[in-house]
Amino acid sequence: MLLRFGYDISVSCGQETPMICMMSVRDELREALRVQSAMVTTPAVPTTVYRDLFGNTCRRMVAQPGLFSLRSDCTIELSGLPDPVMPWLQPTPLAELPDEVLIYLVGSRYCETDKLSQIAWDMFGHIAPGYTQVQAICDYVHRHIRFDYMNARVTRTAYEGWQEGTGVCRDFAHLAITLCRCMNIPTRYVNGYIPDIGVPVTGPMDFAAWMQVYLDGGWHTFDPRNNVPRIGRVEVAYGRDAADVPLIHSFGPHVLQKFTVWAEEVKA
């Protein structure tokens, strides 16, 4: 399956504004790219690339005063299969976890394990550890939080999302991630593209957030927002939570003027 994906984003800046953008696919997917378009800025400015602590591709630049646009348009070859469902997966014993996985067991900026630990054990402690327990957490979060763009808030934490019962995909992910970590399951935050393949189209395309859980020695995708296997995920970045993977981190004020995202199957 070929998937075309990209973005066209414009912001306005009152002065020269340094930025770090994190919108390139993960290195693990680069060999699958069939049409690759590096980020194009208007007006054109020099950019440099580095990898952060999680291996995400970060692009540095200085946005010019006035309207500043970022655009990319790529095509990638994917299997066309939905997310795998593997109920036999078991937790990796804590003592056998790789060192680099341990960071995904503890609290982080938006994932307050200290506030939700007892709640998590009360609700999920009776369920056999592994895939079934993680899915039970996703089922709960999917029911508990009501999706509503109008109630989006960039400062909302997992605990606040649990209290308020509303939010967007990042809030679903943060709450499920936190509950999993409370159950001693390493879990990381992922953002990227999810096309509307095989599901009803519910609105304009956007970047999406989901999570990956470490079971049986590997990372596996779970999506508490959609909570059904999806086709065509394209990973852009992952980290402890949304604080590690901002699409645009500007060191100065900017105003969003345009935000268009696409992810669609290319028909043969």
- DSSP output for 169-217: HHHHHHHHHHHHHHTT--EEEEEEE---SSS---SS---EEEEEEEETT
- Tell me if 111 is assigned to some domain: yes
Length of the chain: 268
Q: Where are the alpha helices (DSSP H) in 45-130?
A: 113-124
Residues 53, 164 within the same domain: no
Give residue 253's Cα distance to chain centre: 24
Residues 252, 209 within the same domain: no
Residues 189, 252 within the same domain: no
Domain count, the chain: 2
Which CATH number belongs to the domain containing residue 8 in this structure?
2.60.40.2250
**Tens-digit pLDDT profile for the chain (268 aa)?**
999 999 999 999 999 999 999 999 999 999 999 987 778 999 999 999 999 999 999 999 999 999 999 999 999 999 999 999 999 999 999 999 999 999 999 999 999 999 999 999 999 999 999 999 999 999 999 999 999 988 889 999 999 999 999 999 999 999 999 999 999 999 999 999 999 998 887 777 889 999 999 999 999 999 999 999 999 999 999 999 999 999 999 999 999 999 999 999 998 6
Which residue range is the domain that position 71 belongs to? 2-79+247-266
Residues 170, 255 within the same domain: no
Residues 9, 138 within the same domain: no
pTM for the full predicted model: 0.95
